[in-house]
Amino acid sequence: MSMVLFDVPGPKARVRHKIMAVVGVAALVAALAYVVMRFIATDQFSSRRLDWINYKQIQLSLVEAIGNTLSAFAVGAVLALLFGAVFAAARLSDHAWVRGPAAVVVEIFRAIPLVVMMFFFYYGLPVAGVKLSAFTAVVVSLMLYNGSVLAEIFRAGINSLPKGQSEAAYALGMRKTQVMTLVLLPQALRSMMPTIISQLVVLLKDTALGFLITFEELLRWGTRIGGDAVNFGRPMISVMIVVALIYIGLCLLLTWFANYLEKRNRRSKKVIHTDDDEAGQTQVAESSAVMGAGSVL
């Protein structure tokens, strides 16, 4: 689409674009150069401030911190998927007394900020005599918040299928559970996969909120080493760059996996398309692209 917004550039436009590109790059380089100059002027990359990399104990604690982040992610993701599946099923139920409460729960947990939830479990519950570890508080909050977002994703995925699918299945004499597990879910899961994975990327990023409740994960490790003024002279900048690269690497790995799934998904269509079908398909794809972008936060 973006290529249709303007005509194919002619000679004049090409020159104009080149000038704009040069000016833009110059401005960008100037801005970056200024930042790098400040790095050098304040001596952020002196050997003393990079020394932390050489300590074996610090390296080991880094590995441990990454391990903590990943284990919170893994446990949180599994629980959130389960929570999402259960509540999506409840919201799609035929019984109003199941649907109603499930909807309320999902809507409420989607509306409460994750930070407030973590504070509630870590600082609030001890007042009532229940003491949770920081890890448990993080995992439970991740489950409740991302689980309810996932429940909505699942529900939207099932609802986006053509009505004829379930009608045909019922006409064949299938039960409700059979319709869901044999007909609707296999189709819906395919189209939902990219959105689910991008929600998992959100979950991975949200583990960093454990920082606020003293959960020893990657970011907390970074601020501890980076704030060490005695041994390394506050190497906050260099440590944070390393931490950011690790987070970006982990998230891109997941995103890459999502894209891989999407591509494989697109390739293996074993049905014969009619023109009508094609239009419907692109419509669904487009709306899910927008939904994906919106839910990734």
Partner 1 sequence: MSVLTNNLDLFLRAFGQTLQLFAISGVLSLLLGTLLAALRVSPVPVFRAVGAAYVTVLRNTPLTLVFVFFLFGYPLLEIVKIEPYTAAVVALSLYTAAFVCEVVRSGINTVPVGQAEASRALGLTFVQMLGNVVLPQALRSVVPPMTSTMIALLKNTTVASGFAVFQAGTIRDSLSEQGENVLLGLLWVAIGFVILVMPLTYVQQTFEKRWSVAR
Q: Which of residues 122-141 bind partner 1 (CB under 8 A)?
A: 123-125, 127-128
Is 111 strand, coil or helix?
A: helix
Regarding 229 and contact with partner 1 (CB under 8 A), the answer is no
31-39, 171-179, 182-190, 266-274 -> range binding partner 1 (CB under 8 A): 31-39
List CB contacts of 215: < 8 A, sequence separation 6 or more. Answer: 68, 72, 134, 135, 137, 138
d(CA 248, CA 209): 16
Q: Work out how close the CB of 184 gets to partner 1 at its nearest, in angstroms, rounded to a whole number.
A: 21
Amino acid at residue number 213: I
CA distances from 279 to 100, 270, 273, 284 (A): 34, 17, 10, 9
107 binds partner 1 (CB under 8 A): yes
Question: Does the protein bind partner 1 through residue 230 (CB under 8 A)?
Answer: no
**CA 235: distance to chain centroid?**
29
Residues 6+ apart with CB under 8 A from 265: 190, 191, 193
For partner 1, the binding residues in 65-104 under the rule CB under 8 A are none
In the set 237, 262, 265, 284, which binds partner 1 (CB under 8 A)?
237
31 touches partner 1 by CB under 8 A: no
Scanning residues 154 to 213, which ones bind partner 1 (CB under 8 A)?
A: 201, 205-209, 211-212
Dihedral of the alpha carbons of 32, 33, 36, 37, in degrees to the nearest 10: -150
| Beta carbon nearer to partner 1, 73 or 83 | 73
15 interacts with partner 1 by CB under 8 A: no
Is residue 33 near partner 1 by the rule CB under 8 A? no
Q: Return the range that interacts with partner 1 (CB under 8 A); candidates 59-67, 76-84, 174-182, 286-294.
A: 286-294
Q: Which is nearer to partner 1, 169 or 226 (CB)?
A: 226
Instruction: Pick one of 70, 79, 89, 251: the residue that binds partner 1 (CB under 8 A).
Output: 251
Indicate the residue among 169 and 243 with the shorter CB distance to partner 1. 243
User: CA-to-CA distance for 193 and 209, rounded, in angstroms?
Assistant: 25
Judged by CB, which is closer to partner 1: 83, or 109?
Answer: 109
- Residues numbered 264 to 283 that lie near partner 1 (CB under 8 A) are 283
> Which of 7, 94, 275, 276 is in the footprint of partner 1 by CB under 8 A?
7
Q: Long-range contacts for 286-289 (Cβ within 8 Å, ≥24 apart)? A: 287/160, 288/160, 288/191, 288/192, 288/194, 288/195
One residue of 58, 65, 117, 197 binding partner 1 per CB under 8 A? 117
Structure tokens at 143: 């489950």
CB-based burial label for 89 (10 Å; 0-12, 13-18, 19+): middle
Please tell me whether residue 294 binds partner 1 under the rule CB under 8 A.
yes
Q: Report the alpha-carbon distance of residue 98 to residue 146 in Å, rounded.
A: 21
